[in-house]
Amino acid sequence: MWVIGGSIAAVVVVLIGVVLVNSGGDSSGSSDASGTSSQSSGVDKPASSSHKPTPPLLVGTPGNYQTIATYLKSNNIPEALVHRNEPGAPVVTMPMPPGWVDAGPQTPAFAYESIVYNGPSAGAYRPSATALISRLGPNADAQKILDFAPGELNNLPGFTATDPGTPGTVDGHKSFQIAGSWNSNGVTKLITQNTVVIQDGTGLYVMQINIDGVADQAEIIKQITEAIDRDTKIASG
């Protein structure tokens, strides 16, 4: 089963249940927005993070573009899900700005971490940010992972890009971010996906952070996207 590059629908469906579970939660105890980690990554990183939009190179036809999942499958590259506190795996700490809370037991089983928004103007549909991390086999190519990253969102029904493709870094690790809107059973949803490749000396890992909301939550989505891009920390396990 290839989870990375084929998880959007599952993330959205599973997290619908988080809305009711966490709607009464107290967001006042959220941690500092920086989400800093006391661990050092031990990985050489660029001094700064920059994002410059560039059109993605899509392979295939609309609705059937090649994705990370199809790349892994066609090249027989094994994928193993990574969860928090797994020995030897990278330690990722997402920021927790005011109004955001950990999804706790409602985090999807396949996810590394999931947070939901319970702050002002949340409405009936709670925005969420869900991180998935997989360890890939030795024949995986980090650049190929980034090359095929835009395919998944472009395959969504009615997808219209607001950010067609942004290469950059997350805590010094190469990334590719794409964002837009799509039609989810007649409802216009907003989606941002950041794909990050992590090479820490123990192997190649790929992380995807999927940020989900509805059309009138654009400012909330924008703020958490910027916080995650700026403040996510990646340390060695």
Q: Model confidence over 6-38: pLDDT tens digits?
A: 656 555 544 443 333 333 333 333 333 333 333
Domain boundaries, the chain: 8-23+30-235
Q: Are 136 and 203 in contact (CB under 8 A)?
A: yes
Strand pairing of 128-136 and 160-170? unpaired
| Whole-number Å distance between alpha carbons of 49 and 66 | 27
The arrangement of secondary structure in 8-23+30-235, i.e. its CATH architecture, is 3-Layer(aba) Sandwich (3.40)
* pLDDT score at 202: 82
* pLDDT score at 57: 77
Q: Are 56 and 152 in contact (CB under 8 A)?
A: no
Q: Are 104 and 84 in contact (CB under 8 A)?
A: no
Collapse the DSSP code of 60 into the 3-class scheme (helix H, G, I; strand E, B; otherwise coil) and give the result. Answer: coil
| Whole-number Å distance between alpha carbons of 43 and 19 | 37
User: In this predicted model, what pLDDT tens digit does every residue of 174-217 receive, in sequence order?
Assistant: 999 999 999 999 999 999 999 999 998 888 999 999 999 999 99
Q: Which of 112, 89, 87, 97 is nearest to 41 (CA)?
A: 89
* pLDDT score at 173: 97
pTM: 0.81
Tokens standing for residue 80: 């193993």
